[in-house]
Amino acid sequence: MVLGATLSLTAALAPAPSGAAPARQPDPTTTRISVSSDQAQANERSSSSSSSRTGRYVSFASRASNLVPGDTNGVDDVFVRDRATATTSRVSVSSAGVEGDAYSTGPAISGTGRYVAFISAASNLVPGDTNGVIDVFVRDRVASTTVRVSVPAGGGQGNGDSTVPSISQDGRYVAFSSFASNLVPGDTNGFADLFVRDLLHGTTSRVSVPAAGGQANGLSGFSSSTISGDGRWVVFLSTASNLVPGDTNDAPDIFLRDRWRAVTSRISVSSTGEQGDGVSSGPAISADGRFAAFSSWSSNLVPGDTNGVEDVFVRDLAAGVTRRVSLTAGGVQGNRSSSQPAISGDGRGVAFVSGSSNLVPGDTNGAEDVFLARWRTGTTTRLSVSAEGAQADSFSNDPSIDHRGRYVSFTSYASNLVPGDTNGMLDVFVADAG
């Protein structure tokens, strides 16, 4: 697959030799962002973060009632933290500013931080919401408007739950998974499918479709999907066996849909095109659509994969090369599972979660941590540590990453990442990896 001459492979893309000994990476600076504008810590759990292009804005979900004034609904809401002004605002509200009458979660923020997509069971965020299912919404933080996007192109509302939104850099396109059968004509497969809503033109299209036409014979996008910065490329998980020819591994795979060319391809494959012999999940794509990250239990995607656990991989979609990135700086494979990859907009950094104790020296906390692999330079850094380098006293997960791979947000139950963390709750943090 060739994305264009400008994407030609160069020697600069080669990772550092496994025998090299990269200099020790400095400890990241860690701050807590699931706090109120007056810096009060949340009185309930927070999770599900998403970072803007520069990392200035971070959206997250929280059940806390003290992050903004007037939060009286007693359910999870979606918030945005402006790290430059140290302010927190709630975005899961109606255009009139009314709080949701049911939970909202799963945010995805646009590149500028203006638009936030999220899911909600609330029925009062937009007029006429009577379907009684989970819908996908987008909040325009500048215009203070909220619209529902999991709707048919011809109007009306979806007849099934919609989940896992992803939003393009400019906020125009929103990808999401839905069990609804009425978002596009001819949806008769009875499975969750992946859709893209064009907010400019008000159209909804199905993208989890076979390269030869028809519809998928399995679930698609139900756990995760990501859209590229310009909305052209969408990566998604699917259990379908008919999206591409030769899919005979009887396992969930990762697929790429080129919306401009109407082409579907499978990317959870080896550099020689061999299909994976295990389950793949957690897809993410770079802003320009060149690199995709995913996790897999497959042992045949790269040579020497003998650890028998889930690993994180990066697929160069221009060169057709698959690399494993959940490795030590010296190229040693992890001794526990690694998953939940998030790839930077420029494709150079991959944040992921791992229970491995051998990816960096001194990892003795026995908990899942968040790591950053800068795979082109062959460095791996643990991010879920305090500013002084103390390792977390509990688990960390669910990373999101900015365009340059410098700022990584994540969720942690640890109480020692920042001073004064005494709420005993899951919090959202941002690590500055430098």
Q: How far apart are CA 183 and CA 181, in angstroms?
A: 6
Q: How far apart are CA 217 and CA 74, in angstroms?
A: 39
Phi/psi for 6 (5° steps) reads -70, -15
Give pLDDT, residue 254.
Answer: 98
Q: How far apart are CA 72 and CA 59, in angstroms?
A: 20
Q: How far apart are CA 179 and CA 37, in angstroms?
A: 38
Contact by Cβ (8 Å): 295, 315:
no
- Provide the token pair at 416: 């020692």
Total structural domains in the chain?
Answer: 1
Is the pLDDT confidence value at 317 over 70? Answer: yes
We report the CATH number of the domain holding residue 64 as 2.120.10.30
Mean residue pLDDT of the chain comes to 94
Q: How far apart are CA 27 and CA 328, in angstroms?
A: 16
What's the pLDDT band for 108 if we cut at 50, 70, 90? very high
Give pLDDT, residue 25.
Answer: 53
Residue 258: inside a domain: yes
**Residue of 374, 434, 373, 383 whose CA lies nearest to 410:** 383
Q: How far apart are CA 247 and CA 327, in angstroms?
A: 28
Residue 7: inside a domain: no
Phi/psi for 7 (5° steps) reads -100, 20
Give pLDDT, residue 27.
Answer: 64
Is the pLDDT confidence value at 15 over 70? Answer: no
Q: How far apart are CA 79 and CA 36, in angstroms?
A: 10
| Interval 131-182: pLDDT, tens | 999 999 999 999 999 999 999 988 899 999 999 999 999 999 999 999 999 9
Residue 342: inside a domain: yes
Average pLDDT score over residue span 258-280? 98
| Interval 285-308: pLDDT, tens | 999 999 999 999 999 999 999 999
What's the pLDDT band for 224 if we cut at 50, 70, 90? confident
| Interval 229-253: pLDDT, tens | 999 999 999 999 999 999 999 999 9
**Residue of 196, 204, 189 whose CA lies nearest to 240:** 189
Residue 53: inside a domain: yes
Residue 18: inside a domain: no
Contact by Cβ (8 Å): 66, 72:
no
| Interval 33-86: pLDDT, tens | 999 999 999 999 999 999 999 999 999 999 999 999 999 999 999 999 999 999
- Token pair 């359910």: residue: 75
Single-letter residue type at 220: S
DSSP letters of 25-68?
PPPPEEEE-SB-TT-PBPSS-EEEEEE-SSSSEEEEEE--SSSS
Q: How far apart are CA 429 and CA 49, in angstroms?
A: 9
pTM as predicted: 0.93
Residue length, the chain?
A: 434
Give pLDDT, residue 26.
Answer: 56
Residue 187: inside a domain: yes
List the Cα angle 136/138/142 in 5-degree steps. 170
Give pLDDT, residue 211.
Answer: 82
390: region left, alpha or beta (phi > 0 left; psi from -120 to 50 alpha): beta
171 CA to centre of own chain: 16
Residue 15: inside a domain: no
**Residue of 317, 323, 309 whose CA lies nearest to 353:** 309
**β-pair partners for 89:** 80
> Looking at residue 6, what DSSP letter applies?
G
More confident position, 47 or 224: 47
Range of the domain at 388: 33-432
Residue 2: inside a domain: no
